[in-house]
Structure 1
Amino acid sequence: MRTVDDWLASEETGEAFSHCVRCRLPLVEIAEPWLVNKEIMGGECVLEYAVCQPCRDAVTAEFSEESKKSVRDFLEKEIDWDERLMEFMASHDATDRFESCIACLTPRRVLEGYGLSALFDSGGKLVLGPLPLLICLPCVGKMTASLSDASRSVWRRFLEKNFDGPPGDAGFPGML
């Protein structure tokens, strides 16, 4: 059975993420929290990265206000945060959070794809709150359906600048 450290480690290296994907600085030297985001398709990790809070803020500042509002609306309306947080607090194992989608509650074992997102403090300790979480790709699709073209362009530029491979809309929008 995978531990939370296994789930949130780089699939490529098997180690914890050490550098921000955008600024390339060592995460523990930045003295800021950071996010780890992973996208899994068909059991294979197709995108993974850690991004420090300053870099995340710089990228999300480029998203349109309408896009940010659309994502906030989804998070507020489609997720019963009180119920989810009570479930999270009742569990002593953070890996339980990866058993089903945070929004629709579809079990991970039947999902074709999903995203994982987790927050770490400036010292590298996992922060337990609304994150870590798993969200299925259909729910990501609902969450991002109303993103503006300008915001989609910001996301594509982020992918193009920081990852090898063809550009596109692939990727869990954990920056929002």
Structure 2
Amino acid sequence: MRSRRPNAGLVDEEQEYLQTPEPVPVPERFWSFETDGPFERCLVCHRSFRDEPVPYLIEKAYERDEVVLELAVCAICQTEMMREFSEASLKLMQHFIGEHVDVEAQMRQFSEQFAGDVEPWVSKCLIRRSPVDPKAGYRVAARCVGEVLDTRFPPNAISVAALEDMMKILSPQTKGFLNDFTEKYFGVPTGNDVPTILPV
């Protein structure tokens, strides 16, 4: 019996998704600020999203409506990163999100109402359900596959205030990993209580 190639499940998932009708190209809102075009590679492993298409996460952090940090991380690296989170942090984050977000209802609403414009979905904080404040800062996120938006997962925005709430429940181990991550890839000094990017 022929064995499956490594990560074949993720690639097969992407290919299956691309067969759905009328795929939505990655919106400009989620293009790279530095290149003024779609992200092409994973920040961590440099895997090409075109040559070896896999699902990936895009996050962009804003302050006063200006992009201050951005990243695109493939699902494979994101899984590896989550293994660095403490078990306690993972459980607390799951509970925190469950308390504030009706995930199934949100996905159903997005499926029924999305018409190609992501702005209505990134104009309010996912956690606090209030409009994001550009002056206070916020981050937006979306999942993509290849060159299209993965419409199974609604794009979202989280305010800095909500990120602060999330950081308060994380263990020192998890905070340390996030600080090390931001320092390694963005040059942000360690010791910050609230990394601008939360790659989860």
Output the TM-score relative to the length of structure 1: 0.87
Shift, 1:61, TM fit = 0.6
Structure 1: give runs of 5+ residues left out of the alignment.
none
Determine the structure 2 residue equivalent to 1:50. 72
Shift, 1:105, TM fit = 1.6
SS in 1 for 2:189: coil
Q: Could you report, residue by residue, the CA deviation over 1:101-131 in whole angstroms, capped at 9, with x for unpaired residues?
A: 112121135662111111012x221111343
Q: Please tell me whether the aligned partners of residues 4 and 94 of structure 1 are also in contact (alpha carbons under 8 angstroms).
A: no
Instruction: Check 1:12–1:56 CA distance in 2 against 1; reply closer, same or farther (3 A cut).
Output: same
Determine the structure 1 residue equivalent to 2:98. 76
Determine the structure 1 residue equivalent to 2:47. 25
Determine the structure 2 residue equivalent to 1:146. 169
Mapping of residues 126-165 of structure 1, within 5 Å: 126-165=149-188
Instruction: Check 1:136–1:33 CA distance in 2 against 1; reply closer, same or farther (3 A cut).
Output: same
Output the TM-score relative to the length of structure 2: 0.77
Question: Counterparts of 1:174 and 1:59 in 2: how far apart (Å)?
Answer: 8
Q: Could you report, residue by residue, the CA deviation over 1:38-82 in whole angstroms, capped at 9, with x for unpaired residues?
A: 111222211100001111111111110111111111111111334
Q: Please tell me whether the aligned partners of residues 57 and 74 of structure 2 are also in contact (alpha carbons under 8 angstroms).
A: yes
Paired-residue identity, %: 26
SS in 2 for 1:150: helix
Determine the structure 2 residue equivalent to 1:95. 119
Shift, 1:90, TM fit = 1.9
Q: Please tell me whether the aligned partners of residues 127 and 162 of structure 2 are also in contact (alpha carbons under 8 angstroms).
A: yes
Structure 2: which amino acid aligns with 1:47?
A: L
Question: Counterparts of 2:197 and 2:46 in 1: how far apart (Å)?
Answer: 20
Instruction: Check 1:56–1:96 CA distance in 2 against 1; reply closer, same or farther (3 A cut).
Output: same
SS in 2 for 1:18: coil
1:170 maps onto 2:192 in alignment: no
Question: Counterparts of 2:134 and 2:183 in 1: how far apart (Å)?
Answer: 31
The alignment's C-alpha RMSD in Å is: 2.1
Number of residue pairs matched?
Answer: 172
Question: Which structure has the larger Rg over C-alpha atoms?
Answer: 2
Structure 2: give runs of 5+ residues left out of the alignment.
1-24
Instruction: Check 1:159–1:30 CA distance in 2 against 1; reply closer, same or farther (3 A cut).
Output: farther
